[in-house]
């Protein structure tokens, strides 16, 4: 029996590519960079992984665009020019947009090396002029493209929204909010033509919400699109012992009677997508609803960004921790909190929510996008009506009114949910299956 099992495992390994070239703008900055790194690390023991990045990386031996001052200056200059070109169009979508008219030198090198060596190619976040749209049609057979946002099946925007939320379905023919040159329509058509007939590519998305929208689009509809969530290291992100939790809270000036809400994201307070304006309004609404012992115990803690020190948030005392250096610090912040707030208007996955639940801390979010895969209403936290301030304030009140044991029970179920759906072992198996299928496509 063991011999047969060993044989099956060996055959599975043989179907994997021997070398994998992974391309991304960054492997260290932002959720997409972290997810790309973590996913690659899962298979690095079985496959020779070579990293290619447009931005300098902490990964040893990574090939980077700005390895020389000349390359860095050229890439930065191109990005500035394209940024101003993007300004020729105005619409009601406040989120980030990318044109991808040009390729960075490192992307060209990555593609050349993949063709020369026969390595498999996996593309992650390729914006900020990392890989040109016109290179999509040149991708080798078996290439895997991971979507960390909606850009690939939309126009120039990274998340569809506003009055043209579903314009990516019909090609932006009725984009009434667009003024100036319609980059959305132009880029959408280029993507559709470049990927037309490419049944030899595999696309992955991190949430069921994105899977449905990708299949709905004309750019990726009919293509091989698969669900591949971001991996969560449940050994690193895990609950701390009660005495350690008390010490962590004591460092911040909290005791066990305080009800601590934590929130954070890279530049989260500056990005409309992250919804911190909605969280502020919800906190104010909660503060104005009444006074009493329960309200007097509420505290807010924020991480990410540059702000440090003490202040107030919506009327409640708040502490601002600034940038946290590494996942260990993140784990400590999640673990000392009673609840993590994720007020995003949209998330392709919901990394903060998943990490918090892995640490046994329940989450409050809006019932939207990829967050619904992670936060199960009244099971692992609470989901507010999108984007209702009163509903989010009510969820915060309900969380604060729970007993400590009830909050612990929500967090414990959250950790079990993350372990079943997003742990390293689960995602590694899914990823290796996709790599094996891509290898057969490449050799077919």
For 29-39, the pLDDT digits (tens) are 888 998 999 99
Neighbouring C-beta atoms of residue 131, cutoff 10 Å: 27
> For residues 228 and 208, what is the distance between their CA atoms, to the nearest angstrom?
9
For 322-350, the pLDDT digits (tens) are 988 889 999 999 999 999 999 999 999 99
Question: E strands, 191-336, where?
Answer: 202-205, 224-227, 259-264, 298-303, 308-313, 316-321
Assess whether pLDDT exceeds 70 at residue 7.
Answer: no
Per-range mean pLDDT, top range of 5-9, 57-61, 66-70, 368-372 = 368-372
Fold of 242-422: Rossmann fold (3.40.50)
> For residues 431 and 231, what is the distance between their CA atoms, to the nearest angstrom?
10
CA triple 314-361-307, angle to 5 deg: 40
> For residues 406 and 111, what is the distance between their CA atoms, to the nearest angstrom?
52
- The domains spanning 15-231+424-443 and 242-422 adopt the same CATH topology: yes
Long-range contacts of 11-15 (CB under 8 A, 24+ apart): 12/432, 12/436, 13/46, 15/436, 15/439, 15/440
Torsion angle, CA of 353/354/357/361, rounded to 10 degrees? -30
Put simply, whether the predicted model's pTM sits higher than 0.85 gets the answer yes
For 250-269, the pLDDT digits (tens) are 999 999 999 999 999 666 66
Mean pLDDT value across residues 23-47: 92
Structure token pair of residue 244: 């350690």
Mean pLDDT value across residues 387-411: 97
Assess whether pLDDT exceeds 60 at residue 4.
Answer: no
3-state secondary structure of 98: coil
Domain ranges of the chain: 15-231+424-443, 242-422
Question: E strands, 222-338, where?
Answer: 224-227, 259-264, 298-303, 308-313, 316-321
Long-range contacts of 250-254 (CB under 8 A, 24+ apart): 252/301, 252/319, 252/336, 253/319, 254/299, 254/336
Domain 15-231+424-443: assigned CATH number: 3.40.50
Mean pLDDT value across residues 79-83: 96
For 195-249, the pLDDT digits (tens) are 999 999 999 999 999 999 999 999 999 999 999 999 999 999 999 988 999 999 9
Q: What are phi and psi of 341, to 5 degrees?
A: -100, 125
pLDDT at 170: 84
Assess whether pLDDT exceeds 70 at residue 307.
Answer: yes
pLDDT at 8: 45
CB neighbour class for 274 (10 Å; exposed up to 12, middle 13-18, buried from 19): buried
Q: What percent of the chain has pLDDT over 90?
A: 77
Average pLDDT, the chain: 91
């Amino acid at each position: 029996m063991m011999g047969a099992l060993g044989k099956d495992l060996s055959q599975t390994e043989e179907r994997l590519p021997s070398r994998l070239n992974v391309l991304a703008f960054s492997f260290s900055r932002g959720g997409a960079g972290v997810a790309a790194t973590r996913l690659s690390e899962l298979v690095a023991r079985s496959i020779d992984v070579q990293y290619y990045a447009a931005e300098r990386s902490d990964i040893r031996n990574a090939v980077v665009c700005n390895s020389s001052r000349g390359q860095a200056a050229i890439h930065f200059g191109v990005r500035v020019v394209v940024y101003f070109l993007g300004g020729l169009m105005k619409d009601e979508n406040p989120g980030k947009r990318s044109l991808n008219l040009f390729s960075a030198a490192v992307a060209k090198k990555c593609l050349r090396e993949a063709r020369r060596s026969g390595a498999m190619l996996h593309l992650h976040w390729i914006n900020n002029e990392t890989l040109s749209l016109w290179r999509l049609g040149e991708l080798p057979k078996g290439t895997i493209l991971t979507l960390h946002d909606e850009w690939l099946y939309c126009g120039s925007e990274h998340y569809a929204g506003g009055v043209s939320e579903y314009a990516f379905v019909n090609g932006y023919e009725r984009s009434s909010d667009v003024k100036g040159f319609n980059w959305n329509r132009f880029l959408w058509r280029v993507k559709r033509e470049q990927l037309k007939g490419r049944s030899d590519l595999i696309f992955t998305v991190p949430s069921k919400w994105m899977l449905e929208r990708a299949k709905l689009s004309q750019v990726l509809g009919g293509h091989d699109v698969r669900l591949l969530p971001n991996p969560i290291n449940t050994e690193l992100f895990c609950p701390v012992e009660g005495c350690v939790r008390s010490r962590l809270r004591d460092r911040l000036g909290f005791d066990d009677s305080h009800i601590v809400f934590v929130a954070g994201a890279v530049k989260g307070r500056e990005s409309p997508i992250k919804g911190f304006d909605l969280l502020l309004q919800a906190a104010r609404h909660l503060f104005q609803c009444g006074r009493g012992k329960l309200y007097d115990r509420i505290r807010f803690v924020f991480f990410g960004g540059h702000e440090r020190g003490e202040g107030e948030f919506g009327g409640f005392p708040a502490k601002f921790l600034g940038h946290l250096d590494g996942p260990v610090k993140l784990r400590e912040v999640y673990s000392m909190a009673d609840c993590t707030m994720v007020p995003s208007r949209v998330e392709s996955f919901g990394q903060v929510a998943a990490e918090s639940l892995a640490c046994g801390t329940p989450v409050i979010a809006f019932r939207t996008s990829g967050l619904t895969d992670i936060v199960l209403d009244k099971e692992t936290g609470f989901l507010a009506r999108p984007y209702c301030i009163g509903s989010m304030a009510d969820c915060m009140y309900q969380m604060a009114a729970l007993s400590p044991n009830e909050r612990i029970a929500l967090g414990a179920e959250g950790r079990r949910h993350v372990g079943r759906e997003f742990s390293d072992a689960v995602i590694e198996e899914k990823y290796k299956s996709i790599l094996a299928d891509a290898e057969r496509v490449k050799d077919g």
